[in-house]
Structure formats: structure tokens, C-alpha cells
Chain A
Amino acid sequence: MVRVLTISADVRELAGGRDVFEVEAETVAGLISRLEAQFPGLGHLIEEKMALAIDGEIFQDAPGERLRPECEVVLIPRIAGG
């Protein structure tokens, strides 16, 4: 079980106010499709507009990244710079 957390209001809006999820997934791609199935639009939002901190390390556009069982994933807004 992967524990998914977020600080994002956009995620909460699509997930009926929730910002903590328990998801069964082995890769980032799997996680995204499970969340999309549960909350339509959420998977798409994550794919297009968010980065993930997997056990603290930031990944952006990394669908193949494997997820350890019991790892923690935080959904964070994409970061760009100037």
C-alpha cells in the first residue's frame, strides 16, 4: 500500500476534499491510473501539473519509477524557475 499525501487545493477539489489516500500501486504510472479511476480528472491533473516526492525525493514526469511497498508519495505542484 502506498500512502499518498498532498497540500494541493486542486487535488482536494477533485477528490471531494480528501488529501490523504491509500493506493495499491507498484509504479508511478499505476498510481496515477488508480487515482484517475477513483477520482476522474485527478490522474490527469497529477500527470500534467504535478510532481511527486517519493519517500522525499522529487520526481517529475517519471511514470516508470518504481514504488516500494509502504512508501510515501507526496503530490506537489510542479516547480519551474526563472
Chain B
Amino acid sequence: MSDPSGSNGGYRVIGSRPVRPDGVDKVTGRAQFGADFHLPGLLTGRIKRSPHAHARIVRIDTAAAERLAGVKAIVTAADFDLEAAGEIEAGESASAIRDVAANCLARAKALYQGHAVAAVAATSPEIAAEAIDLIAVTYEVLPHVIDVDEAMAPGAPVLHDDMFTRGVSPRPGTASNVAQRHVMSRGDAAGMLAAADIVVEGRYTTAAVHQGYIEPHACVASWGADGQSLIWSSSQGQFLVRAMTARILNIPLSDLKVIPAEIGGGFGGKTTVYLEPVALALSRKCGRPVKIVMSREEVFLASGPTSGSSIDIRLAARRDGTITAAEMTLRYQAGAFPGSPVHLGCMTAFACYDVEHLSLIGYDVVSNRPKVAAYRAPGAPMAAFAVESAIDDLARQLSMDPIDLRIRNAVRDGAKTVYGASVRSCALVETLEAIKSHPHYSAPLNPGQARGVAAGFWFNIGGESSAAVHIDEDGGATVVSSNPDIGGSRAAMAMMAAETLGLPIERVRCTVADTASIGFSGSTGGSRVTFATGMAVTEAAQKVVADLRRRAAQIWECDVADVAWRDGVATCLDPAKTVKPLSIAALAARSAKTGGPIAAEVALNAQGAAAGYGVHVCDVEVDPETGRTSIVRYTAAQDVGRAIHPAYVEGQLQGGAAQGVGWALNEEYVYSPEGLLQNAGFLDYRMPVASDLPMIDTVLVETKPNPRHPYGAKGVGEVSIVPPLGAVSNALSQIVGRRMTALPLSPVRVLAALGKI
């Protein structure tokens, strides 16, 4: 399914589709996830959670629970040891560690239903559950607010009395729920809008949606008598878990080893901590290991969804379709603590289009809901929903083909984004054209069906990664990666090492190391692992090749410049020497005599990550009786640089598209008037299942490999969730006959739009 016009550069391994080296464990049940780990003397940890959306915590009485036989420890926020306030990079924005700690165990207030207020560790799940019931918490219930526009309105209940909106001059004197106002602009958008040939406008809303990983959060924490501790955790970043947990419990980093379990989905939602500081605090108190696993209900009540949003947009255009200006106001829910990705929404909103005059204002707003966490291209899908809908309206008004309109306005290399970076290695136009020339785009539609397209963008990041490559004594290789494998990255790491070393892929294995066994790394996320950790792996393998050549030169007593390396074999170019070539196995057998073990470790901060662009087209039809929307056909094209393992790249496009379809059609948080979550389970939080989707065709556009990566890779994991909201809505709006502006496009909303209810 790769774009046939993109060559794979003549590589032996890169671009092929080997079975992933860690695959057998996953299909046999042998792979160990967060809840699968067990230690002798293990206690069960459980968390007591607020039943109120907003309340002052007057008193926590643990006496009765402490007396229950089998209860070994009880903790509250008082058991955390937070020093001075500081910041730790977490998902989409720097989260104050104070807020993370208060989210793990509430301080003075419960800020959402489900907010953790205390935790117990007991000798069995039944005793732990009983102890939770015996903890008596006295609350002073306060008025609450859920919706973002209501939270911004004057007179709304205020969550934090020390929240004075930043980014507003002069600084407000009264506290509010607006944590920050961001402004990004260039040119004179207001003036251009006033003078425009055509103006398109709309207000769009999206609901909060959860990342929906099938594996609930889980960890085991074990405090040692000398203060050295172990955490086994399902997370996207073992170093992040270590940093946050150590900070919250005030222990040195080197005293805490975090082992990354296999992770059952994250999508950004596991780039923070909920359980680890609590479990370790419990273990510290009683000296026994503690396991805490969230129930599915707890995952919905207390772990981060992404922001719901309310967005106003106005686009100005000329009759020929050139978009000349745009104004957008974005209001994103942060949940109970500040830190929504609204600034990223502002930065990505027009990143696909070369629009000279822009004014983007973003508000980060708190309300009584769980603290948001990163979710695949955080902040971008909501903004793209508004932009792609408005562009679709423009195409309709101008009777222009929606792809042609986007090609006319698409960024090309050299264009300047609103946030200051220049566009480079961009194949957006090629991706638009790939969709335009795809059989899907010209396939006839049946009556009652409609087709929608949309584009999307994500930055992708680089950052810190470490990797090691060891040559085994029999000539195979082991790659040690610093990053949890969330989607098959061990395959890509092994492939890049195999390509560089010249070994067959079956001789290269890849393992993910704990915090004590490999250098520091940023989390798995931001579409950075194949790029940055892959860069570290490749550079380590290159160092090994250099070392192997040196050893061959030593054995042959020739100059190292006369040693050629090809396909895993050293040959001597010196015509005066008659020697046989040396394979990696032969050199490995002689390692002790040529300098010792053959290994290299590289730690780097990868710069030069290249952004990704996606274009999706989907056909939908609606059941007029039930309002149910069916996706009839779906094609996702993406500018991927170079696909190291095409099948796993295709998988990222398909998975992101499926999440976007769920976001567009069905997923949302339903709250009662009391601020209580009504659908905290998979039955009523409706994610796409196999019968909801057709096959998802993919097109991998590889015309612009990233020159800053040794094999041309760009991040691919996040872009694919950005276009679907617009693509689905653009199709559905045609069937309904008017612009749909509120997600999800649930059956109830569709029937209302059709005038049926």
C-alpha cells in the first residue's frame, strides 16, 4: 500500500515487513502488562474518590479503617513530600508538579467527581474495598460548573481562588476559571475580514473524549528498607514516572528504579502519573509492595480525557478561493487544573494553509471535570474540525472542488507558520493530490451517501533519547531502547540497527530497558520514537560499525581506511594483503583480542523533527430512522517521510482514523445536573467496534524523506487523528443538508438536524 512513486531507497531491511521481534509474546499471552506483575507479600491498593463534583474536604477520618484487620497502610495528600513548586514536562504542556500531586491525592478541595482523596493498602481486594468504605470523609459541597462557556461566564463557581488569568493585561484582580489567554497573530486579520469578497463563519463545539486505551492504569510499587524503591508501571515514559514520583515523594532519582511494563495503549494518556506516587507512599508506610489497578469506571472518572472545546471562526477569502485571513477564538476545557492544549490548537489550526493574516486567541479554562491529559496530537483535532468545516463551506460557496481549494492554499516548503517555524520537507500538496487521484475520490456514490475530505497537521518532536547496541559473541545484535513500545517500535529499532550493521533482521533483537539500565529518555509520544530513539539506535550501530572496522584493520594489520564495510562483512581494500573477508560473527569471536566487548551507547537530543500532514476522505450514509451514521468507505493518506516498517505505519493511520471517527460520531462525557458522570464505562462511552468500520485504505506518501533522520523517517503516529473529525462532518453535513457544528454527531443530534425529533 505504499505510494509506488516513492522508492524505498534501495535498502535491505528498511521498508520491508518483518514480524516484530516482540510479537510472539503478545499473541501467546506471555507479554507482561502493568497488572500482570506480582511480588511476594503483595498488597492490594484501592483509592477513595470524591462523590461530589466540587467540595471542600473538611475532614478525613481513617480511624475505623485503620482498625480493620488486614489494612496495612492508609495515605492522604499529607503523606506526599512535595518541596518547592516546580515544573515537569508532561504530555501537551508543562504541568506544575503541585497540580499533578494534588490530582493524585486531593489537598483542600475535591475538584471533580472521582478525585482521589485517600488510599489504602490491604492484604486482599475485599479488605481493601471494605477499608475504603470505612474511611469517613466530611465534605462541604460547593456549587460546580462543567461546561467551558459556563465556566468562563461571570458568576461561575471558581475552582482555584489563586487563579488570575495570565496573558491578560492588566492582570485581573479577581480569581476566575480562565487560567491563561494565548494570543497569536500576524498581519491585519480584522481589516482583511472587513474588506473580504467572501466571509465564512461558524461556532463549533466538541465534547471531551477519552483516549480509550483498553488497559486501565496499573502499577506495583515496592519500597526497600534502605529507601531504594522499585516501580513496575504501565506508562509511556519510565523516566517521567520516576521524575514525577520522586519529586512528589521527595526521594533522589537514583533511589527509584522504574521498570516499564508492556503498555496496553496510551495515546498520550499515560504520559503522566495517577497511581505511582500513591502506591509508593503506601508501600513506604508499611514496607510491603503494593499493587494498584484502576477499574474502568475509575479510568473514566479520574484519568485525563482531552479537552472539550468551543470555537469561533471567521475566514476571509477572495473569489478565486485564496484564503486571505482568519480569526479564531478557541476555548478549551482543562479539567480541574490548568493545562489544556489550547495553545497547540492555535498553533496547528492553520498550519496546513498559507494564510497571511491570522488572529488566534486561545483560552485555557478549568471546570469540575478530570484534569485533561495529552491525547494524540493534543489540541489539533478540535481546531482542525472548525477550520476544515469552514473551508468546506467555502468550497461549497465557490463551487470549487474541496481538494483543489486546499491545494490552492496549501503550505509548501519555505512558508512561515504563525508560530515561527518554517515549513520544510513538506509533502502536503503531494498528499492532497494522492487523495485526488485515488480511486476512492472518483468512485460513484449510492443515493443517500456523501463524501467528505479534510486535511490535518502535527508538529512531531525530537528530544532526548538513549540507545545501546551490543554485539553478541555469536555475531547477533541486541538493541537496548529507552522507550516503551506502544505500537511496534521495537520492530523499527531492530530494522534500523539491522540495516546499519548489515545483519539479517532475524539476528537483531530489541529490548526496552528500565531507568537503571539505559540513559535518560523523553517519553514515548509526540511521534518521536522512530525519529529520535531511532536516531540514537542508528548512531549507536554506526559506532559499532566503526569499531568493527577498526578491529578488522587490527587483525589484518592494515589502515582502517582500507577496510570496507558492506552487508555485515568487512573486506580489505589494500591490494598488498591477501586476506579473507571478516563477518560480524568472525569479528565477534575475536572481540576479546581486539579490544574487548563490542558495544556502543548513544544519548542525544534529536533536533530536526519534521512535521506530518494527512488528508482523509470518507463516504458516509445515514439511517433516517435511527440517525445512525455508517462509514461506508475510508481512505487516509499521509506524508510519512519514509516508512521504516510500512505495516506499522499503515496501522498508525488506521488507528488514528478509527479514533477520529469515534470522536466525530459517538464519544462524549455525559454529566448529570449534579456534575456526576453518567457514562463511565464502555457500554455508554461508545467507541468504534469492528462492525462500525469498513477496511481503511492507506496511502503512504514518501516523496519527502526527512533529511535530518538517517533513514528519512518522520513521526507518523499522531497526524492521523486530526483530519477525521472534519472529513466525517463534511460528509454528514451534505446528507443532512446543513452545516453540523457540534460533535459528537450522535444519532440524536442527526435526527434533530433532519427534523425527525
Physical contact A–B (CB less than 8 Å)? yes
**A79, B182: Cβ atoms closer than 8 Å:** no
**B181, A9: Cβ atoms closer than 8 Å:** yes
**B419, A7: Cβ atoms closer than 8 Å:** yes
Contacts of B130 in A (CB 8 A): none
Which residues of A in the span 13-30 have a Cβ within 8 Å of any Cβ on B? 13, 17
Known contacts A56-B422, A59-B607, A77-B343: does B463 contact A10 (CB below 8 Å)? no
Instruction: Identify which of A48, A53, A80 contacts B93 (C-beta below 8 A).
Output: A80
Number of interface residues of B (CB under 8 A): 56
Which residues of B in the span 688-741 have a Cβ within 8 Å of any Cβ on A? 715, 718
Task: State whether the Cβ of A33 lies closer than 8 Å to any Cβ in chain B.
Answer: no
**A79, B166: Cβ atoms closer than 8 Å:** no
Shortest Cβ distance from B715 into A: residue = A81
Contacts of A10 in B (CB 8 A): 166-167
Task: State whether the Cβ of B527 lies closer than 8 Å to any Cβ in chain A.
Answer: yes
**A80, B374: Cβ atoms closer than 8 Å:** yes
Known contacts A49-B87, A80-B461: does B92 contact A9 (CB below 8 Å)? no
**A7, B609: Cβ atoms closer than 8 Å:** no
Contacts of A76 in B (CB 8 A): 347, 419-421
Task: State whether the Cβ of A36 lies closer than 8 Å to any Cβ in chain B.
Answer: no
**B419, A74: Cβ atoms closer than 8 Å:** yes
Known contacts A49-B94, A80-B91: does B167 contact A56 (CB below 8 Å)? no
Number of interface residues of A (CB under 8 A): 28
**B268, A79: Cβ atoms closer than 8 Å:** no
**A79, B459: Cβ atoms closer than 8 Å:** yes
Task: State whether the Cβ of B376 lies closer than 8 Å to any Cβ in chain A.
Answer: yes
**B421, A74: Cβ atoms closer than 8 Å:** yes
**A53, B421: Cβ atoms closer than 8 Å:** yes
Most buried by B among A9, A62, A74, A82: A82
**B268, A81: Cβ atoms closer than 8 Å:** yes
Q: Nearest-CB distance from B547 to chain A (Å)?
A: 26
Shortest Cβ distance from A19 into B: residue = B183
Instruction: Identify which of B166, B182, B378, B421 contacts A81 (C-beta below 8 A).
Output: B378
Q: Nearest-CB distance from B387 to chain A (Å)?
A: 18
Shortest Cβ distance from B86 into A: residue = A48
Which residues of B in the span 185-219 have a Cβ within 8 Å of any Cβ on A? 185, 211
Q: Nearest-CB distance from A36 to chain B (Å)?
A: 18
Task: State whether the Cβ of B90 lies closer than 8 Å to any Cβ in chain A.
Answer: yes
Instruction: Identify which of B89, B183, B377 contacts A7 (C-beta below 8 A).
Output: B183
Most buried by B among A10, A13, A74, A80: A80
Task: State whether the Cβ of B416 lies closer than 8 Å to any Cβ in chain A.
Answer: yes
**A80, B416: Cβ atoms closer than 8 Å:** no
Task: State whether the Cβ of B418 lies closer than 8 Å to any Cβ in chain A.
Answer: yes
Complex CA distance for A36 and B377, rounded to whole angstroms: 32
Most buried by B among A13, A65, A76: A76
Task: State whether the Cβ of B628 lies closer than 8 Å to any Cβ in chain A.
Answer: no
Q: Nearest-CB distance from A51 to chain B (Å)?
A: 9
Q: Nearest-CB distance from B620 to chain A (Å)?
A: 27
Task: State whether the Cβ of B442 lies closer than 8 Å to any Cβ in chain A.
Answer: no
Contacts of B527 in A (CB 8 A): 81
Contacts of B91 in A (CB 8 A): 80-82
Instruction: Identify which of A53, A55, A59, A82 contacts B268 (C-beta below 8 A).
Output: A82
Known contacts A7-B184, A9-B182, A48-B87: does B418 contact A81 (CB below 8 Å)? no
Q: Nearest-CB distance from A71 to chain B (Å)?
A: 12
| Contact surface of A with B, Cβ cutoff 8 Å | 5-7, 9-10, 13, 17, 48-49, 53, 55-62, 65, 74-82
Closest 3 CB pairs of A and B: A82-B268, A56-B422, A74-B420
User: Assuming A81-B92, A81-B461, A81-B528, what are 17 further A-B pairs, CB within 8 angstroms?
Assistant: A5-B420, A7-B185, A9-B180, A10-B166, A13-B169, A49-B87, A56-B421, A56-B424, A57-B421, A60-B607, A76-B419, A76-B420, A77-B93, A80-B93, A81-B377, A82-B211, A82-B306
8 CB contacts below 8 A, A to B, read A17-B169, A49-B87, A53-B422, A56-B416, A58-B609, A79-B526, A80-B378, A82-B525
